[in-house]
Structure 1
C-alpha cells in the first residue's frame, strides 16, 4: 500500500463525509467510502463517546471476523443519515476471500493494510495499485492520530470542525429518531474531538490541517485548493462534486434535504433549533473552542423548560450533566 495516506478527522455531523466524498474519483486516490474503524476492529480502547469500546485482546481470526461483519453490515444498511449509503456496493465473497488470504494480523499496520486491500478488491475487482494514496475517515481517528503517524510517518491529517452549537444540534437530531436523547454520549464525543484537536496540532504540526465546515461550504474553491495543496495531490474537477464510489452523493443531512452542491443555505438553521440545555453545555465545556475558532458565544438559556419531546428522566439526566461534567 502507498505509504502516504490522508486521514480525515472530525466529530459526527461536522462535515467529514462531505470532505471525504469531494475526493472520491480522484485519479491519484483510493477514497474508502465508509468509516473503517481500524482501531475498534483490532480491539483497541476507543474513548469517542458514541462509539466507545473497551480494549480487548484479539487474535487474527477475531479481527478478520470483525472486518467481515462490518462490511456485511454496511452492505446491507440503507440509512439516509449514515456516513455513506453503500448498500449493495460490496462484493462480499471477494472481500471474504481476500481478507482471509492474508495470514499476518499480529501487527496493527499489517492488519490495517490487509483490510484496505480487501475493501479495494471487493469494490473494484482488482488489486490496489501502489501509486494510489488512500483517504480514510473515521470519527475516532482524532484520538489515534499519533499512532497513525507512527505507522505512516508521511501521512497527512485534515481535521474539519463545525460551530459547536450547530454541531450539537445536528448530532442530537442524528441520534434522536424518537424523542429527545440523553446528551451524555454526544457531549463526550464532542469533548473527545476538541481535546485531541488541540493535542494533535502540537504533536503533528505541519502535517495537521484544520479547516472549518462553514468555510468549506461558503468558500469551496478556496478551501478545496488549500486542502489539495496541503495533501500534495493534483487539482482535478472531480474534487468539486461529492460522490461515493463514483455515484453522486445525496448527503446525510438531518434536514432530509438531498445534497445538490456546496451551499451555505443551511448554516444558520441551528439558531431556531437549538435547545437551552445545548447552549448551556456548549458554553460550559467548549468556550475555548468557540473563541479560538472565531465562533460567536450566545448567552446561556433557562434550563427550566423541557426540550421538545424530552421525557422526565432524560430531562433530569441532561440537567445533571451541567453540574457534573
Structure 2
C-alpha cells in the first residue's frame, strides 16, 4: 500500500479558524503553527466556492479545488512544492467521492511534503474567511461533525478600513457601491457571530486582545484545542519558520498592535460613506434582531460577552 493511501487517524480531527476578511485570520492561523500536536495547513480552503457543488467524483471539482489554492502558486518555507504540485496534478484525475475526502488527501499530502512538521500530530488546522458565517460553519460541520471552530472577531469599522487601505495600496479606489459592500460584510459577519456566542463548542478570539495580549489569548486557544502551549505561539510561523503574515499592513515578523482609529488615513469621502452606511446597516440589523428575538449590539458588547464566557 502506498504511503499516501495510509490515512492517519488525526485527519479526522479538524480545526477551522474563521472570521471576516481582514479580521486577523491569517495572523491567528500563523500563530498556531509550530506546535507538535497540531498540523497547520498553510493556505485557505475556499470552502465557500464548493457549497453548491454536486460532487459525484467530478474531475472538474478537483481541478477547481487546486486552481483556487494559493499553495501551488506561492513559495512556502520548508516545503517541497515541486513534489506537491506533481501529486496534486495526479489527484485531479483520481476518482474522489467527496470534498471531505479530497481535503483529507490534500492535507496529508502537504504534511508528507513538509519539513519541520509535527512528528505525531493529533489534529490539523485550516482557515476560512468571509461570506455567510452560518453557511461556512454548517458546511464545515457537515464534513467534520466533531470539528472544532476558533472564531475571531474584530471591530467591523476597522475591518472596513483595512480593506479600503489594502485596495488603495493596490492602486484601487473603491466606488460608493463597493464601499457599501465592504462596510456591510463585516457587520453582517459580526451579527451572525453574536448569535453563536453562547455555543461552547466554539472558541472566540478578540483580534484586539490577540495583538495586545498574545500569550494569554493563545493560552486560551490551546486549552480549547487540548494541546500544550509553547512560546512558538507568540509569533507567526509557517512550518516552523518565522514569517511576515501575508495580509499584514506592517513588514514585521512580530505581532503588533494597531493603535489607529477606524477613520485614520481615510479620505473625507470614505469616512463619510462608511459612517453613513454603518449607521444604516446597524440600525436595520438591530430591528431585525428585535423582530426575530435575537441579540445584536455594538462591538464592545460582543467583546464583553466573549470575556465573560
Does residue 208 of structure 1 match 2:206?
no
Measured in 2, the distance between the counterparts of 1:63 and 1:23 equals 29
Cα deviation digits, residues 187-235 of structure 1 (max 9, x gap) = 3532452243134446xx1111122111111112211111111111111
**Secondary structure of the structure 2 residue equivalent to 1:76:** coil
TM-score where L is the length of structure 2? 0.75
Matched, 1:174 2:166: yes
Report the CA distance shift for 1:260/1:117 in structure 2 as closer, same or farther (over 3 A): closer
Structure 2 counterpart SS, 1:273: coil
**2:124, 2:303 → 1: CA distance?**
32
Following TM superposition, by how much is the alpha carbon of 1:20 offset from its aligned partner in structure 2, in angstroms? 1.0
Q: Point out where structure 2 has 5 or more consecutive residues left out of the alignment.
A: 1-8, 284-296, 305-309
- In the alignment, which residue of structure 1 is the partner of 2:240? 246
Q: Is the 8 A contact 1:68 1:96 kept in 2?
A: no
Q: Does the CA contact (< 8 Å) of 1:99 and 1:114 recur in 2?
A: no
Measured against aligned partners, the alpha-carbon deviations of 1:147-183 in whole angstroms (never above 9, x if no partner) come to 3223323322111111112111001122332242122
Structure 1 residue 28, shift from structure 2 partner: 0.7
Gaps of 5+ in 1: 46-54, 78-84, 296-325
Establish whether residue 91 from structure 1 lines up as the match of residue 81 from structure 2.
Answer: yes
Which residue of the partner structure matches residue 132 of structure 1? 122
- The 3-state SS of whatever aligns with 1:250 is coil
Q: How does 1:3-42 map to 2 (within 5 A)?
A: 3-40=12-49
Q: In 2 relative to 1, CA 86–188 (structure 1 residues): closer, same or farther, beyond 3 Å?
A: farther
Aligned to 2:294: none
TM-score by length of 1: 0.71
What does residue 309 of structure 1 align with? none
CA distance in 1, matches of 2:253, 2:120: 33
The structure 1 residue matched to 2:274, chosen from 278, 285, 290, is 278
Q: Is the 8 A contact 2:154 2:207 kept in 1?
A: yes
Count residues in correspondence. Answer: 271
1:193 matched to which residue of 2? 189
Equivalent pair of 1:13/1:171 in contact (CA under 8 Å): yes
The worse-fitting range, judged by mean Cα deviation, of 274-283 and 167-176 is 274-283
Structure 2 equivalent of residue 300 of structure 1: none
Partner of 1:272, secondary structure, is coil
Is contact 1:64-1:99 (8 Å) kept? no
After superposition, the C-alpha distances for 1:21-66 in whole angstroms (9 at most, x for unaligned) are 11111101111111121342xx324xxxxxxxxx676753112212
